[in-house]
A and B are shown apart, each in its own frame.
Chain A
Amino acid sequence: MIKTMIKAATFGLVGVLISLPAMAGQEMKVGVKGMVCSFCAQGIEKKFRSQDEVADIQVSLEKKFVMLKFKDGKTLSEAKITQLLKDAGYEANFSAGESAKP
């Protein structure tokens, strides 16, 4: 009986630990075509920061991507990301980025 309880508790703990990263919020790296200057990057950053789903964004001119960090349980579709980049004047390049799903 005690053995069974310990087993169940262990599995429960492992389950909680496994599910922790998912609760921490998803990240997505998206390549951006045409992003060559600070003005480009600033516009892109502002567009994404205005979205409720986005907790943080990091932009790299050198590596030509944006790293999106979403709020817990939230995300943006590829279509929405494409539209936001288009509103900023640029093009999404999903093949250049890598989706970092937990």
Chain B
Amino acid sequence: MVLRRFTALLFGALVVVGFGARSEAHPVPYKGAWGLMSFNSSDMTEVSLVHSFTSQLAVATTYLKSSDSEFYIPRLNWLAKRWNNEDSQANIYLSGGIGSEVFKNENQTVRMAGLGMDWESRRYYVLFDQMYLHRDNRRNLAIPNESYGYMKFRVGTAPFLAEYDELNVWLILQAERYVGRGSGSGLGGEEVELTQILRFYVRNTLWEIGTRLNGGWVFNYMVHF
């Protein structure tokens, strides 16, 4: 009975707290805030709009386009734990939702679940993101019922310290790995992709530009208002 209740709770949590997409930076802004984020690379585009109800819970909607799939995913982002230290901050985020995927001109249900962890001081920055996506093919059994995972790891450093109304610059190295769904979705193979990124931000606006070591580019943008 207890085990059943626990399993139901866990399943419920996974459904509600599903997906983390690739949005890494501040998926839960301050209470009442809106955030617009766009993550773009030579093979993918993602745009997310997020609104925080509290400092721990935000609702978001994400549009993600790869070479042969398009996703529309409403989701919840939950700041499960934050450590506010004297000189640093660490976070654990869970986020997720249920949406749709347009794949081979067919609309499919897609469930997503994700976990994000980061630690940041004014000088250093480490991030880990894990996302899981599952396509439900009950509407069309001819479409493969695939699962797909995405993992990201980042380390960064600020070459100089700046105040918040000055230009902040970060150097970031990013490693990404796509698991289990390389051929069908255009979301990449299982190889690790390394990207060198330059991050700039002033006050509430952030830009990132980068190049992949094996070719390709990334451009990210984020604003809170």
Contacts and interface: CB of A to CB of B under 8 A. Distances in A.
Interface of A: 33-44, 46-47, 59-62, 64, 86-91, 93
Interface of B: 25-26, 28-33, 54-55, 79, 82-89, 120-122, 161-165, 168, 201-204, 206, 224
Given A34-B84, A42-B203, 7 more contacts: A37-B120, A38-B164, A38-B168, A39-B204, A43-B224, A46-B33, A47-B30
B163 A62 contact: yes
Contact of A33 (B31, B79, B84, B163): B84
Contacts, number: 82
A89 B82 contact: yes
Contacts of A42: 164, 203-204, 224
Given A37-B168, A39-B204, A61-B164, A87 B30 contact: yes
A34 B203 CA distance: 16
Nearest to B170: A37
B202 to A, nearest CB: 7
A34 B201 CA distance: 18
B201 A38 contact: yes
B204 A61 contact: no
Nearest to A38: B164
B121 A39 contact: no
Contact of A34 (B26, B32, B82, B161): B82
A52 B135 CA distance: 50
Contact of A88 (B31, B87, B162, B168): B31
A90 B31 CA distance: 11
